[in-house]
C-alpha cells in the first residue's frame, strides 16, 4: 500500500521515507491539504497530514469519495479536523499524542530570551557594523515571576527551566501538576497570574473553551513591561487586541511562534507576494515583537518521534488495533 503525505517539509521527508521503509511506500508532497488539493488523494486509502491541513467537512467528503479511509495527522493538535464529519463518513483519524516536550519548551525560552535581550535588533545592527548598545537593555529574569498557563508535559518542561533561572513560579491549569508543585509552583487564578507575572507563557491546547484565552481584558491585566510568549496555538490570543496594546506602547516583548490566521501563510514562501493580512503585517513591524513560523516543535528529536508515531498509527489501523492516538476509531 502507498501512503500519501501532505505538507512534508524538506528536512522531514527523509525521516518519513526512512521510517516507512519496510512497511509501506510513501509519497511525500510539499503542498498542504485543503479543498483545492484534496483531489490529489484519490485512490489513497491512507493519507498523512500536517498541522496546517484543512480538514473540515467538505474536504473530508472529497477524501472519502476518493477512497481515503484513514487520516494520520503528524501533530498533537487536531482542532483543524472535523471529527464528527470523519466519524459520519466512516474514516479513522489518529494523531501523535506525545513527542519531545523539550523542543517546544526550549523554543519558548528562546523566544523569551530573544525579546528580553533584543537579540534580533542587535544582530541586524552588527551586520551593519553598528555596535551601539542604545535600546538593547534587557532584564535579569532571576527573582522575577513567570506565569505558566498550562502545566502539562510542555509546561512542566518550561517550568523546570524557569526554576533553574531562579524565578518565582505561578501556574494555571484545570489540574495541578505535582512535579511543578515540587519545583515550588503556586497555582493561582488566571487573573492573578496575569497581574503578577513578568513573563507569561502559553502551553494549553486550542479548544472552544480556550479560544482567545488571552483576550483584550487579559492583555490589559498584564504588566505594562511584561513579556508574552505563545508557542502553542495562535487562537489562544486575540491578535487584534494584542496589536492595540502594542500600539499603546505596552509590553517589553512578545514572542509568537503561532498566529491565529497562519493557515495559508506559515510553512510557505510568501516573500514575493503582498500580504493581505493587515493584522500580521502590522504585528511584525513592532520592534519588541518576534514572530516565527510555527517551528517550536521542529527538532530532529521531536520530528523523529512524530514520524515514528505516525508509522505506528498506520500499522495499527491496518492491523485493526486501537491506541491512545486514535481520535476516531475504525468503523
Q: How many C-beta atoms surround the C-beta of residue 152 within 10 A?
A: 15
pLDDT of residue 229 exceeding 90, the answer is yes
The C-alpha atoms of residue 287 and residue 7 are separated, in whole angstroms, by 31
Question: Which residue stretches of 66-167 are H helix?
Answer: 83-88, 101-116, 119-127, 153-165
Positions marked catalytic: 233, 262, 294
Q: What percent of the chain has pLDDT over 70?
A: 100
How many CB atoms are located within 10 Å of the residue 22 CB? Answer: 7
Contacts of 292 (CB under 8 A, 6+ apart): 111, 255, 256, 257
pLDDT in tens, 17-72: 999 999 999 999 999 999 999 999 999 999 999 988 999 999 999 999 999 999 99
**How far does the chain reach from its first CA to its final CA, in angstroms?**
20
pLDDT at 331 over 80: no
Predicted pLDDT at 47: 98
Mean confidence (pLDDT) of the chain: 95
Residue 330 pLDDT grade (very low, low, confident, very high; cuts 50, 70, 90): confident
Query: pLDDT at position 267, please?
Result: 85
Nearby residues of 90 by Cβ (< 8 Å), 6 or more positions away: 64, 69, 331
- For residue 160, which of 190, 130, 181, 175 has the smallest C-alpha distance? 181
> In this predicted structure, what is the pLDDT of residue 263?
83
Buried b / exposed e across 30-66, counting CB within 10 Å, b at 16+?
A: eebbbeebbebbeebbbbbbbbbbbbeeebbbbbbeb
Q: What is the pLDDT of residue 79?
A: 86
Question: Region 291-319: what's the mean pLDDT?
Answer: 95
* pLDDT, average across residues 258-282: 90
Q: pLDDT tens digit string along 95-125?
A: 999 899 999 999 999 999 999 999 999 999 9
Measure the CA–CA gap between 53 and 47, rounded to whole angstroms.
Answer: 12
In which band, very low, low, confident or very high, does the pLDDT at 168 lie, cut at 50, 70 and 90?
very high
Grid cell at residue 170: 505561578
When pLDDT is cut at 50, 70 and 90, the band that residue 269 belongs to is confident
Distance from the Cα of residue 223 to its chain's centroid: 25
Helices and strands (DSSP H and E) totals, the chain: 12, 13
Q: How many CA atoms lie within 13 A of 132 on its CB side?
A: 4
What is the DSSP code (8-state) at residue 294?
A: S
pLDDT at position 117 is 97
Q: State how far the Cα of 252 lies from the Cα of 226, in Å rounded to an integer.
A: 6
Which pLDDT does position 265 carry in this prediction? 86
Q: If you average pLDDT over residues 178-195, what whole number do you get? A: 98
Amino acid at each position: 500500500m502507498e501512503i500519501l503525505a501532505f505538507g512534508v517539509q524538506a528536512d522531514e521527508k527523509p525521516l518519513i521515507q526512512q521510517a516507512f521503509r519496510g512497511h509501506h511506500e510513501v509519497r511525500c508532497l510539499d503542498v498542504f491539504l485543503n479543498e483545492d488539493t484534496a483531489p490529489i488523494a484519490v485512490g489513497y486509502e491512507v493519507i498523512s497530514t500536517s498541522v496546517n491541513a484543512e480538514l473540515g467537512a467538505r474536504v473530508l467528503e472529497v477524501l472519502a469519495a476518493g477512497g481515503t479511509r484513514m487520516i494520520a495527522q503528524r501533530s498533537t493538535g487536531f482542532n483543524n479536523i472535523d471529527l464528527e464529519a470523519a466519524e459520519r463518513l466512516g474514516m479513522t483519524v489518529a494523531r501523535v499524542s506525545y513527542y519531545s516536550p523539550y523542543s517546544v519548551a526550549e523554543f519558548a525560552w528562546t523566544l523569551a530570551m530573544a525579546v528580553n535581550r533584543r537579540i534580533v535588533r542587535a544582530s541586524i545592527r552588527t551586520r551593519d557594523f553598528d555596535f551601539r548598545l542604545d535600546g538593547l537593555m534587557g532584564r535579569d529574569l532571576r527573582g522575577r515571576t513567570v506565569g505558566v498557563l498550562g502545566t502539562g508535559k510542555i509546561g512542566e518542561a518550561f517550568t523546570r527551566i524557569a526554576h533553574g533561572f531562579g524565578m518565582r513560579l505561578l501556574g494555571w491549569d484545570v489540574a495541578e501538576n505535582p512535579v511543578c508543585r515540587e519545583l515550588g509552583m503556586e497555582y493561582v487564578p488566571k487573573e492573578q497570574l496575569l497581574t503578577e507575572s513578568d513573563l507569561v507563557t502559553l502551553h494549553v491546547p486550542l479548544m472552544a473553551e480556550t479560544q482567545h484565552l488571552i483576550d483584550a481584558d487579559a492583555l490589559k491585566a498584564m504588566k505594562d513591561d511584561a513579556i508574552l510568549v505563545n508557542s502553542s496555538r495562535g487562537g489562544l490570543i486575540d491578535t487584534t487586541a494584542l496589536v492595540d496594546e502594542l500600539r499603546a506602547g505596552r509590553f517589553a516583548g512578545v514572542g509568537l511562534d503561532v498566529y491565529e490566521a497562519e493557515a495559508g501563510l506559515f510553512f510557505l514562501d510568501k516573500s514575493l507576494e503582498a500580504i493581505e493580512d493587515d493584522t500580521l503585517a502590522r504585528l511584525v513591524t513592532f520592534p519588541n515583537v518576534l514572530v516565527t513560523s510555527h517551528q517550536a516543535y521542529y527538532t530532529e528529536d521531536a520530528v523523529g518521534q512524530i514520524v515514528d508515531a505516525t508509522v505506528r498509527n498506520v500499522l495499527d489501523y491496518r492491523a485493526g488495533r486501537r491506541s491512545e492516538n486514535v481520535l476516531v476509531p475504525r468503523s
